[in-house]
Amino acid sequence: MDPCPFVRLSVCNLALKVPVASKPAHSVVHPSSSPCYCKIKLKNFPLQTAVVPCILSESQFPDGQVQSHAASFHLNRCDLEKLVAKSLFGGGKLFLKISIYTGRRGSTCGVNSGRLLGKVDVPLDLAGTESRSVLFHNGWIVIGKEAKNSSAQFHLSVKAEPDPRFVFQFEGEPECSPQVFQIQGTIRQPVFTCKFSFRTTGDRNQRSRSLPLEHSSSRNWLSSFGSERERPGKERKGWSITVHDLSGSPVAAASMVTPFVASPGSDRVSRSNPGSWLILRPGDGTWKPWGRLEAWRERGSADSLGYRFELIPDSAAAGIVLAESTLSCRKGGKFVIDLGTSVSTNGKLTPGNSTSPACSPRGSGDFGYGLWPYCMYRGFVMSASVEGECSKPTVEVSVQHVNCTEDAAAYVALSAAIDLSIDACRLFSQKLRKELCPSQDLLS
């Protein structure tokens, strides 16, 4: 499999060094009482915001400070060609524009609550960044209109790095058992097939006829990781999807292990009682759990799917949370596992941003780099674009996280589970498509 060229433009190591005045003044930022943030804009890309830590003027950042990402822009070949052409033939340079504010984020009556402290424009030359890393800026910049000896200083690093990815696209909706193509430019090559099926109440241990690797040693997965609870009321359960390679061998699967059940007195799956999927990979002649996806319907006027994805290491009792966010049930969105950023978009957490360290159990704060497996999950891992209740997901997976066919298939299965969760979390007053109703005999 040949990857597609991508470039990751990263903004990191943000800090604000401010003069400390003996008397309070409106022109001076006081780090102890004034939160700071910045808005980061790249042409034709959504605005991102990030917190800017304030440090004392005598501090020598970044020495001894934690180096962290603040924002990332992921550029495919088409994006790069447009941006490079704009800078070459558009009569002007390409800039990354950053505005730094003091005060809290948000707005009141349409007016931003933060006070603009200064602006920074970093010139970019993206030509050739598909094959080499480029550092555009690393250091301090004086901002503000005060005298030089009392001006604030803003620290940042901006770099571009090659980030090649495998791109896969479902030929149809996952519940229609489609083929999955690998995309490379204009070339579409079939690499997987999917089989959607139902696991009935009397068939708990045989998730479908398309999972021949299931042996008696693995028959406790459902009771260990999910709940086959039988209760009266509204529920959706028993869905599974198996990914096969072109030889017909199963290489990954997603199985609904906890039913999606309406909360008492409501028509929705709640966050307090989510449904869940187990993402499985073949190993030692049986299925082994790789990850667990929980999903629910968010409360409020926003029509949103909430989700949480965690890895299930072989030697650990607790899962490793890699992604927790929301996406629109109606319009769709992106499920993203990106362990290099903790960014906000328009003041809100971007879909898929990790809310805990890549190598800590359940966000405990214990990084445990020498203790936890799967610490190779760094930077951009994968994204899945879904289009709402009827979609053909597109999956991007970083090359560094694919060592074999089963690796890629696991991400494809996870993407199918995300897409199917949108249907599973539909209000129970709404009817499902016929392909998702167990009365349809899809196994014949």
pLDDT in tens, 217-243: 344 555 555 544 444 458 899 999 999
Residue range 260-265: mean pLDDT, rounded: 92
Element (H, E) at 116: strand 115-124
Is pLDDT at 367 greater than 50 in this prediction?
no
| Residue 92 CB burial class (10 angstroms; 0-12, 13-18, ≥19) | exposed
DSSP string, 197-225: EE--GGGTT---TT-TT--GGGTTHHHHH
Domains of the chain listed by start with CATH number: 6-19+32-162 (2.60.40.150), 165-200+235-343+374-436 (3.20.90)
pLDDT tens, position by position, 31-53: 445 679 999 999 989 999 999 99
Sign, CA dihedral 392-210-418-2, equals negative
Q: Rounded to whole angstroms, how far apart are CA atoms 35 and 102?
A: 6
Q: List the beta bridge partners of residue 157.
A: 12, 138
% of the chain residues with pLDDT over 90? 53
Question: pLDDT digits over 280-339, tens only?
Answer: 999 888 999 999 999 999 987 678 999 999 999 875 567 889 999 999 998 999 999 998
- What's the pLDDT at 202? 46
265 vs 344, higher pLDDT: 265
Q: Say yes or no to pLDDT of 183 above 90.
A: yes
Q: CA-to-CA distance for 355 and 362, rounded, in angstroms? A: 9
Render pLDDT for 418-439 as a digit per residue (tens, 0 to 9). 999 999 999 999 888 889 987 6
Q: Distances from the Cα of 195 to the Cαs of 12, 285, 304, 394, in angstroms?
A: 42, 20, 27, 17
Closest-CA residue to 79 (of 53, 44, 114): 44
Using one digit for the tens of pLDDT, what is the confidence trace for 144-179? 765 455 578 999 999 999 999 999 999 999 999 999
Calculate mean pLDDT across residues 64-77.
79
Strand 54-56 and strand 111-112: the pairing is unpaired
Average pLDDT score over the chain: 79
Question: How far from chain centre, in Å, is Cα 288?
Answer: 23
> Would you say residue 404 has pLDDT above 50?
yes
What are 362's two structure tokens? 């359940």
Contact (CB, 8 A) for 410 and 309: no
pLDDT at 320: 87
pLDDT tens for 95-141 read: 999 999 988 666 555 445 678 999 999 999 999 999 999 999 999 99
Give CA–CA dist 118/55, Å, rounded. Answer: 17
How far does Cα 4 stand from its chain's mean position?
A: 19
pTM over 0.75: yes
pLDDT recorded at residue 30: 52
Q: Rounded to whole angstroms, how far apart are CA atoms 395 and 407?
A: 13
Q: Which of 145, 144, 99 is nearest to 122 (CA)?
A: 99
The Cα angle at residue 110 between residues 104 and 115, in degrees rounded to 5: 35
